[in-house]
Structure 1
């Protein structure tokens, strides 16, 4: 694509000015990409250098697939089209330059919402996308693009006319969120909650709270911090927000909250919520079951209102929200000769920490089973739990402690995966311990043989344990259909 059409996301001149780079050709890009596998024609390909591979080796492939140009730090070997290269000293810094320029060119009325937290930030980001896109042009990252390259990539992709931007910010160590927040410059910062996630990288949980509070460093004075009053670290987070001159908006279940969850009723594949937000009484539906989702939705509504969105329209939009893949997505796997038997699958396979495992177990405990439809007379609630990573010296106690969660009283069998989950397997009552497995493939092989129509299976574990292998194996047992979609008749 050549020239500088009005539909261009970046012209060659704009990209060069934003990055301080050198460009010889005249082109215009309609998107920004760092991966040739998902690259769309007309994209600006950014050749990032990672630990495992260097994007410069894929520049030729990107241009063959229709990329408008490539952002590089040196010409690729044997490359003969310099007019399609934007040369910079460092491609990650170049991407950050694009991000800063994209943020700066937004209209004055545009609002950026930054989201972080130990649990629920991706789901909340998707809730905000649903709420805000129903009202105005809204941009949010795909997947969990929340790190040192994901946030600048999201900003660099921001449309010029975006009215709302939702930026998810994650971290494993202290000092990682502050530069992301300074780049995004949100007017509203939402922290879902603070728990022991990544505690192995910190001296204590207070350190996790302080790392999350880094999000306030990029918010201008007079901005808004939306905080979970039910969390034990609320006062610490609120103090940090006030030190940056921010207004505090609290959400939770207590009477003193600015945004209060009054009730949440799980009804099949949905949750019916009563809430009071900003003085307005609301009754709305979320397109997924879970009390924790209801609380997150209330926080998201408070953030949307703080960003200037219409609250009632935002609440109505949540009926179309669905739990993302790996974070609560539900499937009905039709099995048997005629496909009339159903295994319900709750996919929580993307990540795990003690708080998120507890929330997932509560959803499993509330899920209805079907009796008398398979080989087993009674439908069963089954959990398959993989290791929770980055828990440090507390990891054995935290894994074993899951056995004491009240929701486990409604769970029939628990299968465990990974060395750390040995502690939970040992702590479970013998009748409830379905089995321990060294890896997810071994667990998948066992579950494929023992699952039956009428069962409900919940799968959860940290990303590195690859619990998605269990999800894929179960879905392959029959015809998997989105549980939130109407059943065919």
Structure 2
């Protein structure tokens, strides 16, 4: 965080500073960081008290003070010996403080670049790749996991300090206007748009509204900022017309014919679904790249990250080296491990962080590729949960996922619902129905298809199947509400 006193924090957020008797800090105390979790407080911190659905941060202001917090941002005074800044809305105040932090860093004069990333899928993986690339060039701040909303992005921006060279800002949205607000906190110098898909379609109402929301990152660029767009997505391509400055393109086919584009040729995957391709950069260089993470779909994410790094001065050979050395990204995203339990052993592909139809198909493609070229074909199990916020066609979209799974050649489909949530349970049933329909139409009577109502039942089915098949690989994929991330953690403890 840039140097600020408690009074300067109060001025930045437009709040009223109160320093009670016994408070360890006063208006002239210099703050060192900002957190919203009292367990992360360290001496000199700004503690932001946020009232959530389950926990109210105001209940922990005293605890934060005891841990050394210099001041707490609150929306009402709390009886605690801690300096407090009272504001109308602590989330809005958090954004204002982060905005001021970025302003101070820019005013420092040393080179500093903000890269904003958005898209319906791939944001966090691209963020992880870009963080690794830019971290090789200078001190880089990037969010933990998918901190991409009105709380997560400001907390990340407040990690920017005097020596920070790059900030990677992941920007997500469930509604029109959210990304626009995020760009007022951290206006990007470079905006990257990955894909406009159907994630959150139920919230937005139409793909056109999703396009409108994602385009806000381009409109929010600093004057003359650089836009980097996916040339293979017809919706993303339209954003080139609203870009305030130069536009670069990345993609598999279309980008190769565009000026300044980075493209991938000779795409392939090995027997463990790790992509290989030739990176073609604008200077005509052709660099072999082998990703250290799984998933053919990650080639596009790698191209997006490579496009930024190349533009900022990284040599193509170094790009390939860094991407090849990146073997671990944010949790529950195509993470591979070996699981042993109940007399069974299997390979787990944990892609359970979230799901939409595009990412479901990508995960299933990865499962299909697993073990290709090996002497013994593995037994492939797709454990699939519900996808949320898909709108009125959600049932048919879930059936389509079940059909795609069987068409991908899986040996077993386990559709995981929730007995206590009829809606989620019905969506899982639709996945199983689609799988059964596809199996019947294609004559694949040997495909095992189960509809279960909690993760305990899913655990039992997978363990039984893995016990019966010596070489088993399991894909976990579903929205958070399905509980599959918790199942992955149970398996990998």
TM-score range, shorter chain: 0.7 to 0.9
> Retained in 1: the 8 A contact 2:388–2:479?
yes
> Retained in 2: the 8 A contact 1:132–1:314?
no
CA distance in 2, matches of 1:223, 1:304: 15
> Retained in 2: the 8 A contact 1:382–1:456?
yes
1:347-384 superposed Cα distances (whole Å, 9 cap, x missing partner): 11110000001111111111128999xxxx97411110
Q: Which residue of 2 aligns with 1:469?
A: 486
Pair 1:470–1:53, CA change in 2 (3 A): closer
> Retained in 1: the 8 A contact 2:381–2:473?
yes
Q: Which residue of 1 aligns with 2:101?
A: 102
**343, 351, 359: which one pairs with 1:356?**
359
CA distance in 1, matches of 2:329, 2:369: 16
Q: Which residue of 2 aligns with 1:479?
A: none
Q: Which residue of 2 aligns with 1:259?
A: 262
Q: Does 1:458 align with 2:475?
A: yes
What value does the CA root-mean-square deviation take over the aligned residues? Answer: 2.5
Q: Does 1:426 align with 2:433?
A: yes
Q: Does 1:272 align with 2:276?
A: yes
Pair 1:445–1:76, CA change in 2 (3 A): farther
Between 1:40-49 and 1:208-217, the stretch displaced more is 40-49
Pair 1:442–1:261, CA change in 2 (3 A): same
**102, 125, 129: which one pairs with 2:131?**
129
Q: Does 1:447 align with 2:456?
A: no
Q: Which residue of 2 aligns with 1:481?
A: none
> Retained in 1: the 8 A contact 2:269–2:276?
yes
Pair 1:38–1:365, CA change in 2 (3 A): farther
Pair 1:85–1:406, CA change in 2 (3 A): closer
Q: Which residue of 1 aligns with 2:331?
A: 325
CA distance in 1, matches of 2:277, 2:42: 40
Pair 1:262–1:42, CA change in 2 (3 A): same
**70, 76, 101: which one pairs with 1:74?**
76
CA distance in 1, matches of 2:358, 2:180: 24
1:16-55 superposed Cα distances (whole Å, 9 cap, x missing partner): 3322334450433332110123334442211122233321
CA distance in 1, matches of 2:446, 2:342: 27
Pair 1:323–1:270, CA change in 2 (3 A): farther
Unaligned runs of 5+ in 1: 1-6, 477-489
CA shift at 1:471, angstroms? 1.3
Which aligned pairs between 1:82-101 and structure 2 lie closer than 5 A? 84-101=83-100
> Retained in 2: the 8 A contact 1:444–1:473?
no
Q: Which residue of 1 aligns with 2:420?
A: none
Q: Does 1:167 align with 2:169?
A: yes
Pair 1:56–1:403, CA change in 2 (3 A): closer
Q: Which residue of 2 aligns with 1:4?
A: none
Q: Which residue of 1 aligns with 2:9?
A: 15
CA distance in 2, matches of 1:159, 1:291: 36
Between 1:100-109 and 1:111-120, the stretch displaced more is 100-109
CA shift at 1:311, angstroms? 4.7
Q: Which residue of 2 aligns with 1:148?
A: 150
For the residue of structure 2 that corresponds to 1:44, the secondary structure is strand
CA distance in 2, matches of 1:103, 1:246: 22
Which aligned pairs between 1:187-266 and structure 2 lie closer than 5 A? 187-241=189-243, 245-254=244-253, 255-257=256-258, 258-266=261-269
Pair 1:128–1:92, CA change in 2 (3 A): same
Which aligned pairs between 1:370-409 and structure 2 lie closer than 5 A? 379-405=378-404, 408-409=407-408
CA distance in 2, matches of 1:104, 1:378: 56
For the residue of structure 1 that corresponds to 2:266, the secondary structure is strand
Pair 1:184–1:13, CA change in 2 (3 A): same
Give the TM-score of the pair, scaled to structure 2.
0.86
Count of residue pairs the alignment pairs up: 457
**111, 114, 138: which one pairs with 2:113?**
111
Q: Does 1:366 align with 2:365?
A: no
Unaligned runs of 5+ in 2: 20-25, 418-425, 440-444
Give the TM-score of the pair, scaled to structure 1.
0.87
Between 1:346-355 and 1:430-439, the stretch displaced more is 430-439
